Amino acid sequence: MKELPKNKIRRSKIRQETKFMKKKQKKKEKEQRKREAEARGEDWRKPPLTLEDKRVQIVGFQPEDRVVIDYTLFDEFSDVFSGAVIPKVVVVPGLKATRMTYNFISELLQIIPNSVFYERKKSSLNQASVKAAEKGFTDVIFTEENRKQITGLFHVHLPHGPCAYYSIRSYVPCKKVVGHGRSTASKPEVILSHFTTQLGIRIARMLGALFALEPEYSGRQVVTLHNQRDFIFFRFHRYQFDDRGVKVSLQEQGPRFTLQLQQLTKGLPGNDDAEIEFRKKKKASKYEFFL
């Protein structure tokens, strides 16, 4: 580096000048780039980098050809999707349930077709799910409440598992959704979108198995489970196509909440030796997504 003069005023002057020149040069380059891009007919701005672009590749990552409801796949849910078994769901409250839980459950019962409410009656998760399997249910959902807020959800697929535990965040009941509509009893269709990994597809199939009945399209209701950065957003809409079939207008019916997968284990709950398929890390990389 060239030595600067010892006089402070002169030194600062030189510095200002160099700074100014640098700026000028940069501007020139930028304009040059812009002109070249326009000549080629492109957008000269670079698209911003998102976390999705920087995503770490993990095993079983296949964003290209993903088929969420694949009828040829064989797993615990294939019976339900093939139509051999009609999905039947029980929703059971947690141990210390207050009015928040009961409101939440009544909302769930409206959304999930063919679903029933049962009381917990001090039975453990294992006891309750075994009993539900005996009664011929295909899924059990246990809710969890802490400090009068819905915080979690156990979802057990019957009769042989798996058991998933989600934490629920930012739950907004139907009434609080701005401009909400009223849902009807018709069976909704489901959109399971952006599940990119094998685990993600497994989770999507598990959640989709709740709604696996043939939807009533005339009801124009749609349940969306969209995965983004391991957050699964739940939304419930009513839609309407315009006269030409070009546009859709949506009206939210509520509730809305976000699921975050904490743990996925094989088998029914209450078994400590069960194989853990996934457990959420406390300190994971910023660019690592599993679903």
Partner 1 sequence: MQSDDVIWSIVGKTFCSFRVKITTGNFCKNPYNLTGICARRYCPLANSRYATIIETEGDCFLYLKTIERAHLPNAQWEKVKLSNNYKKALEQIDEKLHFWPHYLKHKAKQRLTKIKQYLIRKKRLQLKLRSKVVPVNNKLERRERKKEKKALSMSKLDKRIEEELLSRLRSGKYKDIYNFPLAQYETVLEQDKVPEVETMEFEEDYESDDESEEQWEEEVYEASEGEILDEQQTSLKDIEDLHSSTYNAVFDEDDSIQEEVNVGKDPTDVLKKRWSRKVSKHGGSSRATSRKRSGRREFEYEFEDERLLQTTD
Distance from C-alpha of 205 to C-alpha of 188, rounded to nearest angstrom: 16
Binders of partner 1 in range 230-249 (CB under 8 A): 230-231, 233, 235, 237, 239, 241, 244-248
Under 8 Å between Cβ of 153 and 142:
yes
Of 115 and 199, CB closest to partner 1: 115
122 lines the binding site for partner 1 (CB under 8 A):
yes
Helix (H) or strand (E) holding 37: helix 8-40
Of 8 and 247, CB closest to partner 1: 247
Of 76 and 144, CB closest to partner 1: 144
CA-wise closest residue to 124 among 80, 163, 77: 163
Distance from C-alpha of 137 to C-alpha of 268, rounded to nearest angstrom: 14
Least separation in angstroms between residue 258's CB and partner 1 is: 6
125 lines the binding site for partner 1 (CB under 8 A):
yes
Distance from C-alpha of 152 to C-alpha of 126, rounded to nearest angstrom: 17
Of 75 and 230, CB closest to partner 1: 230
Cα dihedral 94, 99, 105, 109 sign: positive
Residue 265's φ and ψ, nearest 5 degrees, are -125, 155
Residue among 34, 229, 284, 287 that touches partner 1 (CB under 8 A): 229
171 lines the binding site for partner 1 (CB under 8 A):
no
Of 6 and 282, CB closest to partner 1: 282
228 lines the binding site for partner 1 (CB under 8 A):
yes
User: Site for partner 1 (CB under 8 A): how many residues?
Assistant: 71
114 lines the binding site for partner 1 (CB under 8 A):
yes
DSSP type of residue 124: -
Residue among 82, 134, 176, 279 that touches partner 1 (CB under 8 A): 82
Residue among 124, 134, 182, 275 that touches partner 1 (CB under 8 A): 124
List the Cα angle 139/290/225 in 5-degree steps.
Answer: 50
